[in-house]
Amino acid sequence: IIDMKESITQFLEKEYYETVRIHQLRQLFERYLT
């Protein structure tokens, strides 16, 4: 049985790290484009 709170925490961490990575990639692109 998977603990609900545990799975939600893992999901949120995954979402957070993906958002951070996308933000960093966007900054990198903007630096190259300008």
Quick: pLDDT tens for 1-34. Answer: 679 999 999 999 999 999 999 999 999 999 988 7
Residue 2: what pLDDT?
A: 76
pTM over the 0.85 mark: no
Residue 22 to residues 2, 5, 27, 29, Cα–Cα distance (Å): 29, 26, 9, 10
